[in-house]
Structure 1
Amino acid sequence: KSPKKKIIIGLILGICLGIGFTLTMLVLWMLSKRRILPRGDPDKIDLDTISFNSNSGISTEVGKDTSLVIVFPNNTKEIKDLTISEILRATDNFNQANIIGCGGFGLVYKATLENGIKLAVKKLSGDMGLMEREFKAEVEALSTAQHKNLVSLQGYCVHDGFRLLIYSYMENGSLDFWLHEKNDGASQLDWPTRLRIAQGASCGLAYMHQICEPHIVHRDIKSSNILLDEKFEAHVADFGLSRLILPYHTHVSTELVGTLGYIPPEYGQAWIATLRGDMYSFGVVMLEMLTGKRPVEVFKPKVSRELVVWVQQMRSEGKQDEVFDPLLRGKGFEEEMLQVLDVACMCVNQNPFKRPAIKEVVDWLKNVRSNRETPK
């Protein structure tokens, strides 16, 4: 009997010690997340604690925080001086109800300032590999990328380990939302509107690839990164953000960046982010607009599961007219859609060296409504 008692006592002690250790670690973790700050130091406010533990408005500590958000001079017409507390009020303490976007780089919140101006605030997440000075240099470099078809970076904030990017607010959300999420959204995007979106997005991409110094490889072109203003003009978003999360001094990485369905086939063999990779992704976006389908539809039969493969097969069978979104058929735009289909299919060529440069795509899309034939 005594050996059995010893075993039972040992088990009980082991369980108690395990529970005690777990509770101790939990308490230590909670303390590390919610640091105790010295009084009279309002510049050391933990934004994460404020965001998720203040459910009844702005705390008194936040109300005292007058740390300024850095606002770029070229955007002073919209906003001049912002403080951390104003950003928190404008987003209702980063309330989930104000989330308007999410992705690999973090959540995006709608912020409404007291004067009525709306902004989009991206709260960056992930491995902040850059030191604060490097981060500021990268952000300020991105701020020089100014084009009517890019989402304008208004400012930024580095505060107690948290990094916020302030953007212009796009009233109509993303192209992805209108094509795939909004009830009857696709029906409101007629062909002339879709063509104008493709033309605008191509101009934004051309600025990044050819004019901006240094040239920017987007690395994650997709319909959810093409935002629409109140006039449904296209604005490319999230460009250059990969350089803010990890210190990519070159465009070579061992970690695949991108979104399923938009990733060029060559990226699976050797991850080298290239301008031609962006062209493949943009080709997929054009196919989305033409067909109304997602790049990958998991629950479809294998033959039609991947948009690029399905479109290429339909074209090889001479059924290209059947790939178009039913909402676009019979409206007299078939010839224009066929021209854009040709451009899109060149962009998604399996061989990256056979894909066109963005300058060619811009020219072709601009001339879609003319009688000029697209080169093949």
Structure 2
Amino acid sequence: MEEPSSDFPLFIKRNVSGRGLQYNQVGSLPPTLDLSNNHLTGTIWPEFGNLKKLNVFELKCNNFSGTIPSSLSGMTSVETMDLSHNNLSGTIPDSLVELSFLSKFSVAYNQLTGKIPSGGQFQTFSNSSFEGNAGLCGDHASPCPSDDADDQVPLGSPHGSKRSKGVIIGMSVGIGFGTTFLLALMCLIVLRTTRRGEVDPEKEEADANDKELEQLGSRKVAIKRLSGDCGQMEREFQAEVEALSRAQHPNLVLLQGYCKYKNDRLLIYSYMENSSLDYWLHEKLDGPSSLDWDTRLQIAQGAAMGLAYLHQSCEPHILHRDIKSSNILLDEKFEAHLADFGLARLILPYDTHVTTDLVGTLGYIPPEYGQASVATYKGDVYSFGVVLLELLTGKRPMDMCKPRGCRDLISWVIQMKKEKRESEVFDPFIYDKQHDKELLRVLDIACLCLSECPKIRPSTEQLVSWLNNILM
């Protein structure tokens, strides 16, 4: 059978969804093993763990019994694992926390017992993933008995009594030191903030509660406190820590530490003296006039280099999924640093996409994300093209205060380009005859990034090369 034309749309439709996911080539279909609703019996084969390229593994609504094999942790590419509505017993293997790409997981309505694993992606799953198992306990179910219960010896044993006392003393000392440290840190933050006595409201994001903290040795860091929906907050916290723990590059923000305390999630970054690109282009009154063309081109190049590292050099590769001007931070030399990896997804080198919900920011979301639940490298490139237009025009991607027909920056620029009126789209603060050719070249690059067809968009490697040639 001949492979169909790449322009012929193919769809895969799964049992639990009313939506079809579009793929352009047979080879792009996600590797799937779906044995659901077949009344299968017996145990789950440990050999399934050898399927290292499998993305979807579904055995729900059968009569499988026995335990969940710990060898399933070998399915390193799996994104969906559904073992619900069977007769499985025993515990959930701790080894499953090693599945970095697992975004959908369910063992609901089995006969499982013991503590639910709490590491890795397990913190992001909903309680419904574990319901119907009266013997489970932990973060997604009823509280577990004392963690030492499995190691206890008979109550009458003097050895057991000594161990219990030792545990109690150790916990008391640990809690005491931990509480003292947290109180000291909070006092330091309050005292430093009070001593400075100034807050710039234009630099604060209401939903992130970013704060500055001047540490000992006169070094500044930025502390970001996540807030909002508990499940979403936990997913974003986990994604950001995992992505930035793996990724180290001069054009990415440096994650210096993080803290989880009760319902608080804190991320500690290197401090960026010049806030964000969005602040300079759209918020600061004299911002646009202060950013000359050479500085804007340098920012574009730095952001492209950071994105190219995420897509091509970092292992595993990373899709950012929320490239925008407010997520490009600027240091004291106006060097660009990509930030906010709360929506980022890890992707293996041989994969071309990951399944996703429609996420991102209005004005930056690629058109294909509304047609199929997949995120690709070319989606990040589209969002980067929007940022290039912001640098060239000084305008926001969407401006609802303007008349209809002028609210969408992309449509307006493309229309002006068709009418050969490119010079009218450029920010007056940067447009002059000296830089005319460079501006037009970057405009052409931006329009390529914004192509409706993802295949036409350049790779991040090409973007870096093109921008480097313009800077030379």
TM-score by length of 2: 0.56
Is 1:366 paired with 2:468? yes
Identify the residue that residue 66 of structure 1 maps to in structure 2. 181
Partner-residue secondary structure (3-state), 1:166: strand
CA contact (8 A) 2:416 2:422 kept: yes
**1:234 paired to 2:234:** no
Does the residue aligned with 1:66 lie in a helix, a strand or coil? helix
Q: Residue in 1 aligned with 2:205?
A: 102
Summarize the Cα distance change of 1:159–1:297 in structure 2 as closer, same or farther, 3 Å threshold.
Answer: same
Q: Corresponding residue for 2:152?
A: none
Moved more, 151-160 or 140-149: 140-149
Residue 161 of structure 1 corresponds to: 263
After superposing the two structures, state which structure 1 stretch, 320-329 or 147-156, moved more.
320-329
For 2:443 and 2:218, the matched residues in 1 are separated by: 42
- 1:151 pairs with 253, 262, 271, which one? 253
Give the match's secondary structure for 2:398.
coil
| Rounded Cα–Cα distance in structure 2 between residues aligned with 1:130 and 1:297 | 27
Corresponding position of 1:174: 276
Q: Matched residues in 2 for 1:172 and 1:312: separation?
A: 31
- Taking the aligned partners of 1:262 and 1:131, their CA distance within structure 2 comes to 22
**Counterpart of 1:253?**
356
Query: Is contact 2:243–2:318 with CA below 8 Å preserved after alignment?
Result: no
Partner of 1:214: 316
2:306 is aligned with 1:204: yes
Is contact 2:253-2:339 (8 Å) kept?
yes
Aligned-residue offset at 1:90 = 4.8
Task: Out of 262-271 and 151-160, give the one that drifted further.
Answer: 262-271
Partner-residue secondary structure (3-state), 1:163? strand
Partner of 1:22: none
User: Which secondary structure state, in structure 2, belongs to the residue aligned with residue 107 of structure 1?
Assistant: coil
The one-letter code matched in structure 2 to 1:253 is T
> Aligned runs of 1:1-376 on 2, under 5 Å?
65-67=180-182, 83=185, 86-87=188-189, 89-90=191-192, 97=199, 100-102=203-205, 106-129=208-231, 139=241, 142-242=244-344, 251-254=354-357, 256-330=358-432, 332-369=434-471
Q: 1:315 to 1:98 in 2, by over 3 A?
A: closer
CA contact (8 A) 1:119 1:169 kept: yes
| Maintained 8 Å contact 1:107/1:124 | yes
**Which range moved further: 359-368 or 115-124?**
115-124
* CA root-mean-square deviation: 3.4
Contact kept, 8 Å, 1:119 with 1:166, in 2: the verdict is yes
Identity %: 56
The DSSP-based 3-state class of the residue aligned with 2:391 is helix
Checking the alignment, whether the CA contact within 8 Å between 1:66 and 1:85 is kept in structure 2 is no
Q: Distance in 2 between matches of 1:215 and 1:368?
A: 27
- Supply the distance in 1 between the matched residues of 2:172 and 2:193 (Cα, whole angstroms): 23
Mapped to 1, the partners of 2:393 and 2:313 lie a distance apart of 31
**Equivalents in 2 of 1:131, 1:263: separation in Å?**
21
Cα distance in 1, alignment partners of residues 269 and 403 from structure 2: 40
CA displacement, residues 89-137 of structure 1 (integer Å, 9 cap, x when unaligned): 5556xx9947744276x321111224322111111124444999x9779
Q: Is the contact between residue 147 and residue 207 of structure 1 (CA under 8 Å) also seen in structure 2?
A: yes
Contact 1:158 1:164 in 2 (8 A): yes
8 A contact 2:385–2:450 mirrored in 1: yes
The whole-number CA distance in structure 2 between the counterparts of 1:258 and 1:362 is 23
CA distance in 2, matches of 1:157, 1:91: 20
Q: Which residue of 2 aligns with 1:27?
A: none
Change (3 A) 1:96 1:215: farther
Q: Is the 8 A contact 1:262 1:284 kept in 2?
A: yes
- Give the partner amino acid of 2:356: S
Q: Tell me the SS of whatever aligns to 1:179.
A: helix
1:266 Cα deviation after fit: 1.2
SS at match of 1:164: strand
| TM-score (normalizing by structure 1) | 0.70
Q: Could you tell me which amino acid in structure 1 is paired with residue 315 of structure 2?
A: E
Q: Select the structure that is richer in strand.
A: 2
Flag structure 2 segments of 5+ consecutive residues without an equivalent. Answer: 1-170, 347-352
Q: Distance in 2 between matches of 1:42 and 1:241?
A: 38
- Deviant stretches of 4+, over 6 Å: 40-45, 134-138
Deviation of 1:301 after TM superposition, in Å, equals: 2.0
For 1:113 and 1:232, how far apart are their aligned partners in 2?
Answer: 23
1:274-332 Cα shifts (integer Å, max 9, x gaps)? 21111111000000000111101112122221011011001111111211111112251
Which residues of structure 1 form unaligned runs of 5+?
1-39, 46-60, 69-81, 245-249, 371-376
Which amino acid in the other structure matches residue 454 of structure 2? P
Deviation at 1:242, TM superposition (A): 4.9
Whose RCO is larger (CA < 8 A, sep 6+)? 1
